[in-house]
Amino acid sequence: MVKNHQRLSKLNPLKTGGSHLTAIKIQNKMKKAIPILIILIIFSSCYTAKKAQMQVHKANLEYPLVTTDFCAIKFPIKEKLVEKIKFISGETIVKTDTLKIDCDSVVSDKNKDNKVLIKYKNIYQRDTILKTITIEKENTARVVNLQIKIEDLNLINKENEKIIKDNNTLIEDLWYFIFCSVFLNVIFIIFIVRNK
C-alpha cells in the first residue's frame, strides 16, 4: 500500500497534498516578481544630476571641510601676474635766461663795458611712467564648467548641421523625383498622342 501511495504521488502530485501546489504557486509568483525586481533595481540605480546635487549639498551641510578640501584639490585657483606699463607724456617747460659774463681778455672799448650777454634756454619735460601689476585669479571650476557646456553646444551644433544636411539631400531627392515624374508623364502623353 505504501508503494502504491508513492507511485500515486509521483504520477499525480495534486492528490498528495498542498505542499507541491504551494511550491508551484511560489514559483509562478517568483517568475512574475523577478522582472519587477530587475526593473526596480535598474530605475533605482539611475544617478541623475539632481540626485548628485542633493548629495553634494547634504555633504556640504554635514561635512563642509570635506567638500571644500575636495573642491580646493580638484579645482585650484590659478593666479597670474599681469604687468602693464603706460607712458604718459608730460608738459614741456621752456625757461629762458640771460647771463652776463665779465671778459677781461676782451679789448675794452671805452664806450662799452667788458661784459658779454649770453642767452640760453632750459627745456624741461616731466614724463610719467605708470606701472601697474595686477593679480588675476581664475576660478578653474567655472572654466571646466564652461568648457563642458561649450563641448555640449558643439555636439548639438554638429547634430543640427547633420540634420540640415540630411534635409537638404531629401529636398534634392524630392526635386529629382518631381522632375523625373514630370518627364515620364510628358513622354507618356506624347506616346499616347502619337499612337492615336
Q: What is the pLDDT of residues 28-79, one digit of tens each?
A: 777 777 888 777 777 766 778 888 889 888 988 898 888 888 887 888 888 8
pLDDT tier at 8, thresholds 50, 70, 90: very low
Please check whether residue 96 is in contact with residue 121, taking contact to mean a CB–CB distance below 8 angstroms.
Answer: yes
**Cell 531629401 appears where?**
170
Sequence ranges of the domains in the chain: 47-195
At position 37, the amino acid (one-letter code) is L
Selection from 59, 64, 124, 127 nearest residue 97 by Cα: 124
Closest CA to 81 of 130, 139, 136: 136
State whether residue 85 is helix, strand or coil.
strand
List 85's β-bridge partners, or say none: 131
Q: Is the pLDDT of residue 185 over 90?
A: yes
Q: Residue 117 pLDDT more than 80? A: no
Radius of gyration of the chain (CA): 50
User: Do 135 and 77 meet the contact criterion of CB atoms below 8 Å apart?
Assistant: no
Query: Which tops the pLDDT comparison, 173 or 142?
Result: 173
Q: Rounded to two decimals, what is the model's pTM?
A: 0.37
CB-based contact 99:118 (threshold 8 Å): yes
